Amino acid sequence: MLRVAIAGLGTVGAAVVRQLRANADSIALRTGRPVALTAVSARNKNRSRDCDLSGIEWVDDPCALAERADVDVIVELIGGAEGVARQLAEAALSKGKHFVTANKALIAKHGPALAALAEQSGAQMSFEAAVAGGIPVIKALREGLAGDTVDTVYGILNGTCNYILTRMRAEKLPFSVVLADAQKNGYAEADPSSDIDGHDTANKLAILTSLAFGVAPDISAVRVEGIRNITLADIQFADELGCRIKLLGVARKASDGIEQGVRPTLVPQSSPLAAVEGTFNSVLLQGQRVGTITLEGRGAGGDPTGNAVVADLMDIARGTRTFAFGVPAGRLGLLKPGNPRPICYYMRLQVQDRPGVVADVGGIMRDENLSFASLIQRGHSKMDSVPVVITTHEGDAEAMRRAVEKIARLPAVMEYPCLIPIEDDAP
C-alpha cells in the first residue's frame, strides 16, 4: 500500500481526495497496489469542503506530516515559493518521503535544490501538475521526448489570460470589463497580477525550459510582459490582419544560448494556438526527430490539476523512479540567455492627424534598419488623435526597442506606442 498525506485542501486538494476515493479500485488495478489517503492538513479544519474526509487523520501542522511513520508520500498543494511549502518540501525529502506538488513557483525557484535532496534520500519528486493543469507536458518532455533533441517549447500556459483575450475578441469588450467579470466568476484572483502580468506563465516556462534543455530553471532570464496594456483596438486590428493575440511563453535554442520570453503575441489564425479559446492551454514541443507535437487541454481547475497529481502518485505506486528534471540535479547546466531572433512586429500609434507624421516614423525606422510591411489608418480628425497601425518586416529586437523610444518622443505621438511581436513561423 502507498500511504499518502495531503497538505492543502483547496480546489485541487479536494479534487485529489475525491479522485483517490472514487477511483481506488481502478488505481490499485493499474498500479498493482492500493493508494490510500491517511492524513491531511490545511489552514482551517472547520471549513466546508467538497470531499469526504471521513477516516482520514487531521494534522494541524503540515510539516509534521514528514515525521509520520504512516506516510510514504506527501502531496503539497499550499502554494508559494517560500514559507510552509518550502519547509514541507525540504522536511519530506530529507526524511526520504516521496514528494508530489502542483507548486510552479516552488519548483521554478528551488527545484534543483529539492531534486538534489530527493536523490540523496532516495525519494521521488514529481510535479506534473505544476504546469498546464491536466496536460501531461512534464512527462512528455522528461520521458516521451527523452531520446530526441528539443529545439522549441512554445505555448499558451495561463488560462486566465487566454479567457480574457478570448472574451475581448468574441464579445468586443474592453480589458477592464472582462477582468472584473473573470474575478467575479472565479477565473481570476482578487489580485490578478501574477496572471495578467505574465509571472505565472514565466514560472511555468522556466520549468519547461529546464526539462527541454537540461538547464536549471532561471526566472531572471525570462523576458516578461503581460496583457494589462492590450486594448480592444489591438484585438480588432489583429483580427483585421488575420491574427489573434495570445499570451505566449516561448523558449527556443538561439545561436548564443536559450531565448526565453513571455509576451502578448500576434499568431496567424492558421496556427493551432489561434484556435485555443477560453481557459484552455496548449503547448507545442518541437523536436529534431519527431517534429512538432501539440498538447491541448484544460490548464487549470480542480479536476484537471488533481488528475495530474493522481497520475504522479500512480507512477510512484508502480515504483517508477525518474530524475525530477530528466537528469541528475548536479548535471543541470547554467542557462545562458540568448538574444531574441529577428522577428516581425505590430506597432499601434495614437497620433495627431496631420501631414508628415508617418514620414517621421518611417525616418526613425529607416535609421534603425527597419521597414514597414503594412500600414493601417482609421478615421480623420483635425482636433483629436487617430490610431495608426504598422506591421514590420523582420527586424532586430534591440533596434525595434530603440525605434519605439524615439517614436514615443515625437510631438505628434500622443501615447507610448503599443508593440507586439508577430510569430508568423509558429511551429
Q: 123-132, 236-245, 346-355: which range is least confident on average?
A: 346-355
Task: Label residue 427 by pLDDT band (50, 70, 90).
Answer: very low
Q: What's the average model confidence in pLDDT over 318-325?
A: 96
Task: Please give the pLDDT value at position 44.
Answer: 87
Confidence band for 190, pLDDT divided at 50, 70 and 90: confident
Q: Cell 499558451 appears where?
A: 156
Which of the two residues, 187 and 309, has the higher pLDDT score? Answer: 309
* Catalytic residue selected from 172, 204, 253, 382: 204
pLDDT (average), residues 124-139? 96
Per-residue pLDDT reduced to its tens digit, 292-317: 999 999 988 899 999 999 999 999 99
E strands, 146-216, in order: 150-156
Helix axes 83-94, 104-121, angle to 10 degrees: 20
Superfamily covering domain 137-299? Dihydrodipicolinate Reductase; domain 2 (3.30.360.10)
Is 204 known to be catalytic? yes
Q: Mean pLDDT for the chain?
A: 94
- Phi/psi at 23 (nearest 5 deg)? -110, 25
Round to whole Å and give the CA distance between 161 and 238.
Answer: 17
CATH number of 344-422: 3.30.70.260
pLDDT band for 381, please (50, 70, 90 cuts): low
Examine domains 137-299 and 344-422 and report if their fold is the same: no
Domain ranges of the chain: 2-132+306-329, 137-299, 344-422
Domain 2-132+306-329 sits in which CATH superfamily?
A: NAD(P)-binding Rossmann-like Domain (3.40.50.720)
Nearest by Cα to 98 from 305, 307, 316, 314 = 316
Q: Describe the strand order of the beta sheet including 125-126 as a list of residue ranges.
A: 57-58, 35-41, 2-7, 73-76, 98-101, 125-126
CA angle 283, 134, 285 (to 5 degrees): 20
Angle CA 422–426–427, to nearest 5: 170
Q: Which residue type is seen at 380?
A: H
